[in-house]
A and B are shown apart, each in its own frame.
Chain A
Amino acid sequence: MVRNRLLAFAMVLLVTSASSRGADSLLDFQSQVAPILQRHCIRCHSPNNNQGELSLATLDDLRANDYVIAGDPESSYLLELITPTDGQPAAMPKESNPLSDAEVALIRQWIVQGATWPSDVVVKERSKADETWWALQPLRVAKRISSDSNISDAPLPPASIDEFVRGKLADKQLKMNPPADRRTLIRRVTFDLIGLPPTPQDVESFVDDSDPMAYEKLVDRLLASPHYGERYARHWLDLAHYADTHGFERDMRRDNAWRYRDYVIESFNEDKPYDRFVQEQIAGDVLWPDDDQAVIATGFLSAGPWDFVGQVETKSDQLRRSARVLDLDDMTTQVMTTTMAMTVNCARCHDHKLDPISQREYYQLQSVFAGVRREARVVSDSSLKAYESAKQQWVRRRNQIDFELARLEGDGLDLADIVGGGNGSGTGTFRQGIDVRNAKVQTRDFGRLGNVVPNRFAASDFDFVDGVFVPSGEAGQAKVPVTSTGITISGLPTTSGDAWDMIRNGPVASQHSPELDGIDFTQDGHSLLGLHANAGITFDLSAIRQSLADGAAETSPGMPLRFTAQLGYFGASGPHRADAWVFVDGRNVAEFKQLGREDGLQPIDLELSAAVRFLTLVSTDGGNGMGHDQIGFGDPRIRPKTSPTRSDADAHRIETLRGERDQVTAELDALGPPPRFYGVVAEKDLPEVRLLTRGNPETPSGDVLPPSALSALAMLDPELGTVTTDEGQRRVALARWITSIDNPLVRRVIVNRLWYWHFGQGLVDTPSDFGFGGGRPSHPELLDWLAEALVHHDWSLKAMHRLIVTSDTYKQSSRHREPAAKVDAENRLLWRQNRQRIEAEAIRDAVLFVSGKLNLRRGGPGFEDFDYQDAYAPIYTYTTADRPELWRRSIYRYIVRTTPDRFLTTLDCPDPANLTPKRITTTTPLQSLALFNNDFMLRQARYFAQRIGREAGTDPAAQVDRAFALALGRQPSQQEAQLATEFVDRQGLFALCRSLFNLNEFVYVD
C-alpha cells in the first residue's frame, strides 16, 4: 500500500512539473519529446519498419495523416491512440510498455505548443548499448604503489595474472588446482605453442631437468621455434577466412595467395609488434611501398571469398553492384571484427540494434575500402624486374651450359624440351605444351578438350615438330594422317576419340605423379614428354639431323640416329590402362599395349637409319575411356648413333660445366616463383559511397560520405578524411585510428584472443564481438591489465605468450573437482585448466609427426592433395595424401573453398567462407569412422608401425613402450602394457598403431 501511494505521488509530481512548465516555457523536443517516441514507438514505426504505414522518425507521416494537428490536441489522432479510455488500455503501443500519464501529458503539451519538430532531429531506435558500454571505455588499470613508499596499508592491486585469478576464485571460496605434472605440462604447452606433440626425448629431458627455470627455458625454446609461427598463423588465418581459391560458383585458383600465408607465419616468428602487424595488413602497400613484406601483408584484405561470376562475368550492372557491395561488406567486416571485435556488419541495413554504430558510420567505414579491388598482382614492379632479370641471367647461362654439354657428350636433343618450344638443349619452357587440335602453343592447363576432330593432322610451327593429331583407330580401319607429307598409319584400336590437355614438356594437367620406378622425371636433369591419350606427335628427323650436324664437326646430315626413352604409364594405379606406339615414317616399330602404372618403365632404344624422316609417338586410351591415361616418355632423346670421340680437354671441360650447372640450378631454386601475390589494387576512379537504404545497392540516399571510423570511441577522433581523400590515405588513416595508443579495444581484443588460444576460452567468450550481443568479461580488470601489459612489452605477442603460459593459472592441472564444478561448471573462473581436443589440422599434423613422415619444409606454394580439373567451374577431387610433398604441415595445405577436404571438415575444420574467431568442437560417429578407416590414417598407421619396427626391434614389450612414448609421450601402465602386448601378439603392430591414433588421449590435451 505504502509503495503504491509513493508511486502515485511521484507521478503527480511529474505531471505537475510538466504542465507547470508547459504554460510558460516551451518544451525542448529533442530532450523531452523525442525520447518518448524513441522508447515507445520507433521500433515498429520507422522508415525501415513502417507498420501501419507510419514512421515516427520525422514529423512528415504524423502531419500528413492528421495524427498530429499543431495546436489542436483534441483532433490529433496520436493522442487518442496513446491515451487509455474507460479503463481500457491505450491502443498503442502494441509491442512496448504503455506511455505513462506524464508522458502522455508531455505529448499533449507539445501539440498544444505547436508540435515543433526541428528538421535536423530524426528519431531513431536506440541501440541496446551506448557510448558508456564497457568495451568502449579507456583501459582501467590500478597503479600499484611502489613498495618503498609506505603510505598506505590498503591491499595492493593485483600485479600478476595469478593474483587476478586467485582473487576472483577466493570471492567464491574456490582455489586453483595444483600444478600439472611436467609430462602433462610439456605436452600441453608444446601443442599450444607449436601445434605438434613433444618428442619422447623432449619429454624425458624436461622431466629430468633439475633447473628450476626448466619450464621457462622450454617456453623460450618453443617460442623461438619456426613452428610457432606456423601454429599461430593458423589461428590468424581463421580470422581472415583465408583460402587458395575464390569460392562461389567458379571457384578458381589463387596460386599466389600463399605469400600472405607465409607473411603471417614470418610475422609471428619474428614477433612483429602487433600494432605494426595490423597497420601492414590494412595499409602496408601505402605506408611501406618499398618493403615487400608490408605490401604482401595486404593479402589480409583480399583473403576472403570473391565472386567472379557476379563481379566480372555477368553483363548485368545491377548484379555487379550487388556482388560488389557484399564484397566490400566482407572486407569491412573482416577488418573491424578481427582488430576491434565490433560487429559493424549489423549496421548495413539499419543502425546497429545493439551497439552504438549508425548505418551512416557503417557506410563511412565501407568507403575506406571502396577504392580497392582484390586482384593477383606483383609485389612491386621493381622486385618483379629484379626477379626476372636474375632469373633470365641464370636461365641463359644454364642453356649455354646444356647446349655445350650436349655437344661435348653427344647427348643429342631432348624431345620434351622441343615440345616446350626449345632447341632440344634446355631452352624450352617447362610445362609448355602443343595443342593436339591445332598445334598451337599453350601454357595454361586444360582438362578434357572440346571440339576435338580425330584423325586430322595439324602442322606445327616448330622446326623440329612436324605436327600433331588425335588418333581414333576405328578397329584398325581408320587411316590416321601422321605427317605433313600425307603419310598415314592404320591398325590402331578404337578409342573414345577424346583428348585431354596438351602434349607437354613435363607432366600434363592433373598429372597423378611424374614419378615412376623411383625416378621423378621433373627433377635432377630428367625430362618428361607428357602425352595423355589420345594424342600423337611427329618429329621431323631431317631438321634434327641438321641441328646436330651444326653442333659438332663429326656428325653429318646423313648420319644414323638413335631414339632412347623410358616409356611409362604415369597415371594412377588401378584398373586404368593405355597403349603407346612408336612409328617411323608410318611404320609401326614399337607398341606397348595395356600399360598400367604397375608395369613400370619400358626402355626404348631404336636405331633410326639415315633414310628415315619422321618419328611419330602415339598414345591411345586402351579402350576403356581416356581417364588417367597419362602416358609419358621419360628422357626422350635423339642422338647420333655413334658418340663422338672425346679428348682429355673435352672431358675436363665437361666436368667444369657440370659443376657450374649445379651452381646455376641452386641459384634458380633459390629464386623460387616470381614475386606475385593475391592482394588489393586501387580502382582507377575512387567510387562514391552513399548510405544504401535497407542495404540495397539500388537505393543509395543522401550525400557522398567521407571516410570515418566509429564515433562511439569517445577518446578517438573518428574522422579519416574527406570525400576527396584518396584510396590509400583512407586505409592509412583507418590503420592509424585502429592502432592508436588511446584505442582500448584493439588491445583488449588481441590479448583476449591470446587468452582464448591458450585456454580454449576467452576472458570474453566471443572473441570477435565485444558489443552488447557478445559475452561479458569474466575478469575485466585482468583483461585491462593484460591490454596495458601489451604496450609495456612494445606490442610483443611473444612477451604476452610468455606472461600467460608461465602463470600458475595456465600451468594448473585440468583435473575436475565436483565441488568447484557445482559453483562454476563452465570454469569461467579458471579453477582448473581446460582439457581441450586438438583441432583438425593439429590432429593431422600430430599423426604425421608420430608416424615419422611429417615433412617440415616451410613456406612456398601450398601442397595439393587433390586432382585439379580445369573447367567452367573447376573440379577438385581429393586423393589420399601418400607422398612426402603432401606430408607437409596442414598450414601449407592448398585450401579450396567450394570443395573442402572432407576428412578435415569432419574433424571440425571450419568453412573458410566464414570468419572464424572460435573453433567449434563436436564429437560424432563420422569422426570415429574417419580416424579409424580413412585411407590416409591407415597408411600413416602403417608407417608408424614400420617406424616402431625400426626403432624398437622385434620385442613386443619394447615395441609397445616405444609406441606409447611416441604417440602419448609416456610409458604405458602395467595394465596397458599387458593389454597392448597381447594385442600386438594377436593382431600385429599395425593394429596397435591404428588404435593409438584413435585414442581419446591422442586427440585430447590435459
Chain B
Amino acid sequence: MSIDPHHNVVPRLPNHSRRTFLQSAAGGIGSLALTAMLAGEGRGAGHGQSHHAAKAKRVIQIFCPGGMSQVDTFDYKPELDKRDGSAFDPDGQLQFFASKPGNCRGSHWKFRRHGQSGLWMSDLFPRLATCIDDLAFLYSMHSKTALHGPACFMMNTGFTLPGFPSMGAWVTYGLGSEAEDLPAFVVLPDPRGLPPGGIINWGAGFLPAQHQATTLDTTDPQHPIADLFPPTDFDQVTPASDRAGLSFLQRLNQLHRQTRPGDTELDARIKAYEMAARLQLSAPEATDLSRESQATRNLYQTDHPDVGPFGRQCLLARRLVERGVRFVQLYCGAENTTAKKIRPNWDSHEDLPRDHGYWGAVLDGGASALLKDLKQRGMLDETLVICTTEFGRQPAAQGNGLGRDHNAGAFTAWLAGGGVRGGIGFGATDELGFKAVENPTYSYDLHATALHLLGIDHTRLTYYHNGIERRLTDVHGHVLKPILA
C-alpha cells in the first residue's frame, strides 16, 4: 500500500515492517512525521485498513469511577435479599479493602423485569430500563485489583500500572480519525474533577503523543480546548494580528524549508499550523450546545441542577461522534477529593442509598438520553456505547452501615449499539453477587470485543515497547461472540 503523508491513518502492515514504519516515523529521523491528531484532507483514503469489516465506526464510553455496585443496579440477586441481615462471612476469614465484611445486605432498590427481553434492572434506573432491549450486560466482569487507581488503569489500559496506552489511544493508533477538523480521541472528565489516577487514565502511555486524548472543557464554550486561542486578557493579540503572525511564520518556514530538501517533518510541521487554524473554527462549533433544539436539550435534561452537567456531556458526545470523532470517553464521577455531603463518585462506603442514589439519577438521565437520541438519529448501529466502572461492591454491608466495600470479584458492564446484540446477558456471578463464576471476564475480553466491533483483531494491534510487542489485551482476551449481533 502507499503511504499518504497527508493522511493520518496508520497503514496496516505486517507486524515488523509496520513497527519499523511507526517507530521511524515517530523517532523523527528522516521519515514521515505522523500528523495523526486530525485527519486533514485525506478523509476516506485510508479506510478499509482494518483487519475485518467493522460494525462500529466509533465509540462512546461512559466510565463510572469509584466502583458501581452490581447488586443494586443490574445484577439481580434474590438470594441476597433473602439473606439480608444474616452473616456474610461467619468465620471472619475475609478482609476487604477497608473493612471486615458486615452482614448480607440486599439491594437498596427493587428489581423488576423490563422490555421484551425481560431482563432485570433495579429501580435506580427508570429511564435506562426503557432501553434495556438495546443493552448487552456483562454480569461476570472482575478486576485484578480492588484499588481505585490501578483498577481504573486496568479498565482503561488493560494494566494495573500507570504508563500504558488507554483504549481510546489504541483505537486511534489503529484506525486514525475520520473527523476533518477535530481530535480523534476526546475525553470529557466529570465537571467536578478528575477520576482516580488522574489524566493518565486517558494518556497515550508509550504510544506517540498524538494518540493521547484531548480533553474538552465544556464550561467555556468559547475555549473548549486548551490554548485553542490566546488568553482573552492578553491585549497585544487580536484576531487580525493572529492571522498576520501565522502567515508571516509560514512564510519564514517556507524559506527555511526551501534550503532543506527531503525533510517531510518540516512539511508536516508547517501543515500542523494550518490544521490548528481549522481546529479553531471547528471546535467551538462542535461544543456549542445552543445549536440543539429545545426538545433535544430537554431529553438530556441539560438544565437540571444535578443531571444537567452529565447530560450536557452526553449530548456533546453525540455531537462529537456525529462529526467523526472516533472515540469519546465520558466520566460520570470524579476522584475522592474533598469530603462533601455526597461523595464525588460512586465510591459508596458509608451511605450507598445516598451516593448511588445521586449518581444513579445522573447516569440514568444522561445515558438513556444518549441511547435514545443516537437511535432516533440512526446512529446507534454504528456507534458502540460502553458503560463500565473499575470494580464492583460487596454484597455485604460495610460494617453496620449503609455502605459497601470494594469488590474486585464481580461487577457489571454493559454495551449497546455498534454491532452489539441487545437484550442479553453474558456470564453470571454466584448467588450473592460476590464473585463472577460463569465465564468470568477481565477488561481484556471487553477490550477485545470492542476492538473486534471496530474491525480490529486485538492480537494484531501491537506496538513495541521495552522488549515487548505490547497489546491493549496483554497476552489475553477473547471476543465475546455471544453478545455480537
Chain A residues in contact with chain B, CB under 8 A? 247-251, 305, 307, 309-310, 314-319, 322-323, 326, 330, 337, 343, 345-346, 354, 447-448, 450, 760-761, 765-766, 768-769, 771, 773-774, 815-818, 821, 825-827, 834-837, 871-873, 875, 897-900, 902-903, 905-906, 908, 911, 913-915, 917-918, 920-930, 932-935, 938, 942, 973, 975-976, 979-980, 983, 986-988, 990-992, 994-995, 998-1001, 1004, 1006
Contact = CB atoms under 8 A, between A and B. Distances in A.
A447 B212 CA distance: 31
Interface residues of B, number: 92
Contacts of A1006: 260
A251 B199 CA distance: 12
Given A307-B147, A322-B145, A908-B209, A1000 B28 contact: no
Nearest to A975: B255
A991 B34 contact: no
B13 interface: no
A816 B200 CA distance: 38
Given A322-B160, A343-B466, A816-B262, 19 more contacts: A248-B149, A315-B96, A768-B466, A816-B30, A826-B31, A827-B29, A835-B263, A836-B28, A898-B194, A898-B200, A899-B199, A918-B27, A922-B34, A924-B35, A925-B35, A929-B227, A938-B231, A983-B248, A1001-B253
A867 to B, nearest CB: 14
Given A319-B146, A906-B209, A914-B163, A998 B335 contact: no
Given A924-B210, A1000-B256, A929 B29 contact: no
A766 B244 CA distance: 43
22 contacts: A248-B147, A249-B148, A309-B147, A318-B95, A343-B467, A815-B260, A826-B29, A873-B198, A897-B162, A898-B162, A898-B200, A908-B209, A921-B26, A923-B268, A926-B37, A928-B273, A929-B226, A938-B231, A988-B236, A994-B245, A995-B245, A998-B273
A1004 B206 CA distance: 23
B425 interface: no
A765 B206 CA distance: 16
Contacts of A933: 227-231
Given A911-B200, A928-B272, A999 B467 contact: no
B37 A315 contact: no
A325 B162 CA distance: 15
Nearest to A769: B467
* Most chain B beta carbons < 10 A, residue from A906, A925, A928: A925
A818 B336 CA distance: 58
Given A816-B262, A827-B30, A921-B28, A1000 B230 contact: no
B237 A938 contact: yes
Contacts of B38: 925
Contact of B149 (A309, A816, A902, A925): A309
A975 B234 CA distance: 31
A928 B229 CA distance: 11
A330 B161 CA distance: 10
* Most chain A beta carbons < 10 A, residue from B193, B337, B464: B337
A925 B31 contact: no
B354 interface: no
A326 B198 CA distance: 20
A305 B34 CA distance: 30
Interface of B: 23-24, 26-31, 33-38, 95-99, 144-150, 160-163, 183, 193-194, 196-200, 203, 205-206, 208-210, 212, 214, 225-231, 234, 236-237, 241, 244-246, 248-249, 251-253, 255-257, 260-263, 265-266, 268-270, 272-273, 275-276, 279, 335-339, 464, 466-469
A608 to B, nearest CB: 39
A837 B265 contact: yes
A871 B336 CA distance: 9
Given A315-B99, A932-B246, A337 B227 contact: no
Given A249-B197, A769-B467, A999-B256, A929 B336 contact: no
Contacts, number: 293
A917 B27 CA distance: 12
A309 B466 contact: no
Contacts of B228: 929, 933
A976 B258 CA distance: 13
A924 B209 contact: yes
A999 B250 CA distance: 8
Contact of B266 (A305, A326, A450, A1000): A1000
A834 B248 contact: no
B189 to A, nearest CB: 12
A917 B466 contact: yes
Contact of A922 (B33, B226, B279): B33
A899 B215 CA distance: 13
Given A326-B160, A769-B467, A898-B200, A816 B263 contact: yes
Contacts of A1001: 252-253, 256
A326 B163 CA distance: 13
Given A346-B468, A922-B26, A249 B209 contact: no
Contacts of B37: 924-926
Given A929-B227, A932-B276, A920 B256 contact: no
A925 B214 CA distance: 11
Contacts of A873: 196, 198, 335-337
Contact of A913 (B27, B145, B162, B268): B162
Contact of A251 (B96, B198, B227): B198
A40 B241 CA distance: 70
A326 B160 CA distance: 9
Contacts of A925: 35, 37-38, 272-273, 275-276, 279
B29 A761 contact: yes
Contacts of A315: 95-99
Nearest to B249: A995
Given A924-B209, A925-B35, A316 B97 contact: yes
Contacts of A983: 244, 248
Contact of A930 (B198, B200, B227, B257): B227
* Most chain A beta carbons < 10 A, residue from B38, B149, B160: B149
Given A249-B148, A923-B34, A979-B252, A774 B467 contact: yes
